[in-house]
Amino acid sequence: MPSSHRWAQTATPQSIAGRGHRSVPRAKKSLNPKPKTRSRAGCWPCRARKIKCGEEKSSCNNCTNAGKACNYTVRLNWEGRTRKTNAESDETRIVGSSGDLLSHPEPSNSLISSRGVEFGIQCQHLNQTHPECALSQRPPLQSENVEEEWQSSGSQIYGYDLGLEDHDIPQNDDMSAIAPEMSVIERDRLCRDNGLKRTTNCPMALEPGGYYSTTVPVRISHTLQPIPKELLNNPMNLLYFHHFINHTARLMTSHDCPENVFRSVLPQMALHSPPLMHLILIYSACHRARILNHPEPKYRISTWMSDVLPSLREALSNPSFLDTSDPQDPSLIAPLLTALMFASLEIISPAIFPLLISWRVHLQTARQLIMVKGGLSRLARQPDGSRNRAVLLVSRWFAYLDVMGALSGGIGAELLLGAYDDDGGGLWLVNRENEEELYGVDCALGFSGRCLPLLARVAELAGQCDQMRIDAATGKIVPDWKPHENIRQRAESLIQEICDSANMQLGCTHTSQRSSLREDESMMGQIYSTNKIYHWAAIIVIAKRVLAQLPDAPIVQEMVQRIILHLKGQQFGRPMGWCPVFPVFVAGCEAVTADDQALFDRCISQIQRYGLHHVDASPIMHKVWETGDPWETMIEHQFLA
- Rounded (10°) CA dihedral 541, 542, 548, 549: -80
| Helix 617-627 and helix 581-589, axial crossing angle in degrees, nearest 10 | 10
Residue 528's pLDDT is what? 86
Residue 510's pLDDT is what? 57
Given a cut of 80, whether residue 524 has pLDDT beyond it is no
Task: Give tens-digit pLDDT for 358-374.
Answer: 888 889 988 988 888 78
Task: Give tens-digit pLDDT for 290-338.
Answer: 888 889 999 999 999 988 888 888 877 775 555 544 555 556 788 889 9
CA angle 346, 248, 455 (to 5 degrees): 60
For the chain, the average pLDDT equals: 75
Given a cut of 60, whether residue 516 has pLDDT beyond it is no
Answer for the pair 273, 280: CB distance below 8 angstroms, yes or no: no
For residue 50, give Cα distances in angstroms to 32, 61, 75, 109: 22, 15, 17, 14
Per residue in 496-521, is it b (16+ CB within 10 Å) or e — as a string? Answer: ebbeebbeebebbebbbeeeeeeeee
- Alpha helices (H) in 111-194, listed in sequence order: 111-115, 149-152, 184-193
Nearest Cα neighbor of 492 from 536, 544, 545, 547 is 547
Residue 326's pLDDT is what? 53
- pTM of the predicted model over 0.85: no
Per residue in 565-579, is it b (16+ CB within 10 Å) or e — as a string? Answer: ebbeebebbebebbb
Amino acid identity of 242?
A: H
For residue 20, give Cα distances in angstroms to 7, 9, 155: 15, 17, 66
CA-based max dimension of the chain: 131
pLDDT band with cut points at 50, 70 and 90 for residue 585: very high
Given a cut of 60, whether residue 81 has pLDDT beyond it is no
Maximum mean pLDDT: which of 132-136, 196-200, 362-366? 362-366
Q: Name, in order, each residue with C-beta under 8 angstroms of 484's C-beta and a sequence gap of 6 or more.
A: none
pLDDT band with cut points at 50, 70 and 90 for residue 444: confident
Nearest Cα neighbor of 566 from 536, 545, 608 is 536
